Amino acid sequence: MKRARVAYAGAIHEATPHADGLRLADGRVLAEHDVVWLPPVARLGSIIALGLNYADHAKELAFGAQDEPLAFLKGPNTLIGHRGQTRRPHGVSFMHYECELAVVIGRRARRVKRADALAYVAGYTIANDYAIRDYLENYYRPNLRVKNRDGFTALGPWLVDAADVPDPGALALRTTVNGRVTQQGHTRDLITGVPELIEYLSSFMTLDAGDVILTGTPEGVIDVRPGDEVVCEIDGLGRLVNTIVGDEAFGR
């Protein structure tokens, strides 16, 4: 099952897909543009992001293989929903998207073995986790200005039940910028797959329901500028649409 969270007519609603757009829980059918899309996780917990989790992307950034997963935390204000706008600050020289499989934890997980890990997943969604390359210091420390900017991580549009994604390691993903395919990859190429990530993270921290793990992006990132429409797709999960805007849209 696919579920979304949207704002419409002064209230927040759960919604499901419909041929004409989406259906609210109260039965009303609306077009995609009639609502404000929210991140599809109702009670968000920690946002844990993985860097350099595809070998081709690590090579693209001129970083070598790491001894263990490169994980870091993101703040809640980084998140926006489907069809949201992401600001490109004036003066930066290279800002790029990152299409990622996002894993939503469904129940408390502590010291979980990889063989049991998928039983702790509530579902999956799509993330577009932007970065400003200008501020990247090194692989060890992706500083806050690179990855923790307000509105820099689009999430959605749907939360797809784990039961409908039997193998998170068998999903193709792609990104288009203004209709042109610029990035293609496959989750089978993750250096550390979803079960292994849950085992690794839960070995030293407790994962709770609502925690979100962003699993990393493959190669193919390009600079994006105001006016660009960026669409991230993952097989079976849908299309996450995002638009880049300049400082003036935010009164800056």
The CATH number of residue 192's host domain is 3.90.850.10
Domain count, the chain: 2
Residues 98 and 26 in one domain: no
| pLDDT tens profile 149-185 | 999 999 999 999 999 999 999 999 999 999 999 999 9
Residues 8 and 55 in one domain: no
Q: Which domain holds residue 8?
A: 1-38
- Helices within the chain (DSSP H only): 55-60, 144-147, 194-202
Residues 183 and 215 in one domain: yes
Residues 132 and 187 in one domain: yes
Residues 11 and 100 in one domain: no
| pLDDT tens profile 24-38 | 999 999 999 999 999
User: Residue 29 CB: number of other CB atoms within 10 A?
Assistant: 13
What do you get for the CA distance between the two ends of the chain, in Å?
41
Q: What is residue 138's predicted lDDT score, i.e. its pLDDT?
A: 59
> Taking a C-beta distance cutoff of 8 angstroms, is the pair 19, 29 a contact?
no
Residues 187 and 119 in one domain: yes
